[in-house]
Amino acid sequence: MNSPRLLLLLSFFAFVLVADITSAYQQGSRRASQDPRQCRIQRLTASRPSRKIQSEGGVTELWDENEEQFQCAGVAAMRNVIQPNSLSLPNYSPSPRLVYVHKGQGLLGISYPGCAETYDSGEQEEQQEEQGQEEQQRRRRGGEGRQHEEEQEEEEKQRRQRGRRGEEGRKQREEQQEQEEEEEQKESWGQQGRRRGSRGDQHQKIHRIRHGEVVALPAGAAHWCFNDGNEELVTVSITDVNSQWNQLDQTPWSFYLAGGQPSGIRKPSERESEREGQREREQEGSERERESEKQRRKRESESEGSEEEERSSFNAQNILSSFDANMIAQAFNVPNDIARKLTREDNRGFIVKVQRGGMGMIKPDEEQQQERGRSTRENGLEETFCNMRLNQYLDNPREADIYSRQAGRLNSVNMHKLPILRYLDLSAEKTNLNPNSIVAPHWSMNAHTILYITKGDGNLQVVGSNGRSVFNERVSEGQMVVVPQYFASAQRAGRNGVEWVAFKTSALPMKSPLAGHASVFKGLPLQVITNSYRISNQQAQQLKQNREHQHLLFPPSRTTSMSS
């Protein structure tokens, strides 16, 4: 009697599994529009940022998006360092972006078009007290205004008695009246601004972001970030320029609503490059790495151009600066002097210092934000972006997808854990690998993988589509490597272990390991293995069973320990 129910339940789970796999393949196929020749890579490189933009309140570092590996993956990489009490100005991108918070903490705000300002910062009593003070000031100014009018009437009588009623007098009175009206209008605007001031400000939700979190930034949504901590806020991000959201070219554009091109756009100095290269040589001691470093410097020296070319290499500008000030004044219904401030040139850059206490009213953790009642009629957009979580902690040992006390752990965030990733078609993984442990050889079935080393060092091997090695070098903190889809890779940690974050160009990435539990070799018949490699049945059994209770992350074996 229960068998039909059991069969129905099993059919449902099978349907869900097939739907997830189908969705993963469909998402992977959305990126197939790029030129396949871009992924005919003969050699990968462990690269560092090639351009540095120094702003007033921090540094923006950019990897060369024209590198073959980034062109293959269809992404651009960036690292932001925001100083304490500094603000990364509001901006938006035509492509979705996935951010990893490497160090520090801060506040993040995103303005979605069509979403209501459902949050109030501050307390109602303080608002009422401020309104009472403004009312008293308004009455006092009203009394002074009446006194001023009486004085004007007396002066007018004296002018009439003296017979001075010429055209010049009328013009003066008209000018004075215009000035008074303008002052009254400014005063009215000021009162409105104070009534809508910081304590009674209405805005969209502000998010607290911390070290170890992944943050999703949808395409076209204006966002800002403020470092309210006592240490630098360091973030690493990839922008999916090949996303279906982006109908421009594959240039990583950023459209800013404030700021301007800083004067500090430059490439690392020769002394910095030399110091960085020396540090790498001391850490890695590899002849191949030194050769790779020489090639990188050669490419940088060949790509040096004029100052104008340097400025155009950072594709960002304040879009308001090119609008007519009168148009802005009319659009916002503000005085022209305010509009001119919005459109003026600003060479502070795109990360600016904030005066002490200038952002004190925005404290989503310390002060309770009250959410105003929503309308019962939601517009569909509120059911998607408006109410979705943007960030997810990626480094919690208790939530590890794969855990081995001897080998390490792997945490992942996909569209099931962070639903907004379904619309970005991106995801991320964080791997902590213990000393001398390895990640089994595997390949990604529906995504490119962008590895960023966050701590330690280790060896990375990547084999390309032609069966040849395209990368076999030691990688260290701060370096980035792209592993294209279907390229097989394996990692081994150094003596102090290694940690990295992996950005994936799919919301539901799938990987296929060669060894261990649920691996390719575990699923092959014994006879297929013996005939493929001309080995005995016993040897084939070892390939299938020696790691059958371990998944992807393996501790060092005895043979490895003896050889090292």
pLDDT digits (tens, 9 = 90+) for 127-137: 444 555 565 66
- The answer to whether 485 touches 466, Cβ cutoff 8 Å, is no
| Tens-place pLDDT, residues 272-295 | 544 555 555 455 555 455 455 545
The sign of the dihedral angle between the CA atoms of 477, 479, 480, 483 is negative
Which segments within 211-311 are labelled E, that is strand?
A: 213-217, 222-227, 233-240, 254-256, 264-266
Lowest model confidence (mean pLDDT) among 42-51, 268-277, 407-416, 527-536: 268-277
pLDDT score of 450: 98
Residue 438 and residue 492 in contact, taking contact as beta carbons nearer than 8 Å: yes
What confidence tier does 317 reach under pLDDT thresholds 50, 70, 90? confident
Q: What is the spatial distance between Cα 222 and Cα 97, in angstroms, rounded to a whole number?
A: 12
Q: Please tell me the pTM assigned to this model.
A: 0.75
Which uninterrupted H or E stretch holds 494? strand 488-504
Q: What percent of the chain has pLDDT over 70?
A: 63
The three-state (H, E, C) secondary structure of 441-457, written as one string: EEEECCCCEEEEEEEEE
Q: For 72-87, what is the mean pLDDT?
A: 96
| Strands 105-111 and 206-210, sheet pairing | antiparallel
Token pair of 328 as six digits:
């802005």
Residue 439 pLDDT greater than 90, yes or no? yes
| pLDDT beyond 70 at 515 | yes
Predicted confidence (pLDDT) at residue 443 exceeds the cutoff of 70: yes
> Exposed (0-12), middle (13-18) or buried (19+): which is 293, by Cβ within 10 Å?
buried
Q: Which residues sit opposite 264 in a β-bridge? A: 54
Beta bridge partners of 482: 450
The pLDDT of residue 118: 67
Q: How many CA atoms lie within 13 A of 126 on its CB side?
A: 12
- Give the pLDDT of residue 92: 93
pLDDT at 356: 78
DSSP bridge pairs for 234: 81, 103
- Report the DSSP beta bridge partners of residue 455: 499
Q: Compute the mean pLDDT over every residue in the chain, rounded to the nearest whole number.
A: 78
β-strand partners of 463: 469, 488
Query: Does the pLDDT value for residue 6 go beyond 60?
Result: no
| 25, 425 contact by CB (below 8 A) | no
Per-residue confidence at 88, pLDDT binned at 50, 70, 90?
very high
State the pLDDT at residue 493: 97
Burial environment of residue 233 by CB neighbours within 10 A (0 to 12, 13 to 18, 19 or more)? buried
Q: Which of the two residues, 136 and 64, has the higher pLDDT score?
A: 64
Check pLDDT > 60 for residue 561.
no
Q: Please say if the pLDDT value at position 490 is more than 90.
A: yes
Please give the pLDDT value at position 204.
79
Higher-scoring residue by pLDDT: 150, 546: 546
What value, to the nearest 5°, has the Cα angle with vertex 470 and ends 251 and 553?
A: 100
pLDDT of residue 497: 97
pLDDT exceeds 70 at position 58: yes
Top-ranked range on mean pLDDT: pick from 259-263, 372-376, 479-483: 479-483
- Taking alpha carbons only, the member of 450, 451, 508 closest to residue 476 is 451
pLDDT at 13: 47
pLDDT for the residue numbered 54: 93
Read off the pLDDT of each residue in 13-17 and give the average, rounded to a whole number.
Answer: 45
Distance between CA atoms of residues 355 and 206, nearest Å: 20
Percent of the chain with pLDDT over 90: 48
Q: Tokens 């790779």 appear where?
A: 292
Ranking 204-208, 365-369, 440-444, 551-555 by mean pLDDT, the lowest is 365-369
**pLDDT over threshold 60, residue 78:** yes
Evaluate if residue 190 carries a pLDDT over 60. Answer: no
pLDDT at 421: 96
pLDDT, position 508: 96
Residue listed under structure tokens 């090119």: 322
What per-residue confidence (pLDDT) applies to 355?
A: 85
Range of weakest confidence among 38-52, 240-254, 311-325: 311-325
Confidence of residue 232 (pLDDT cuts 50, 70, 90): very high
pLDDT for the residue numbered 180: 64
Task: Indicate whether 222 pLDDT > 70.
Answer: yes
Q: What's the pLDDT score for residue 498?
A: 98
Q: Which of 242-256, 452-466, 544-558 has the highest mean pLDDT?
A: 452-466
Backbone angles phi, psi at 318, to 5 degrees: -75, 110
* pLDDT surpasses 90 at 536: yes
Task: Say which amino acid occupies 83.
Answer: Q
Average pLDDT over residues 254-274: 65
Grade residue 98 by pLDDT with cuts at 50, 70 and 90.
very high
What was the pLDDT predicted at 496?
Answer: 95
Instruction: Report how far residue 454's alpha carbon sits from residue 502's, in angstroms, rounded to the nearest whole number.
Output: 10
pLDDT for 555: 95
What was the pLDDT predicted at 476? 97
pLDDT for residue 63 is more than 90: yes
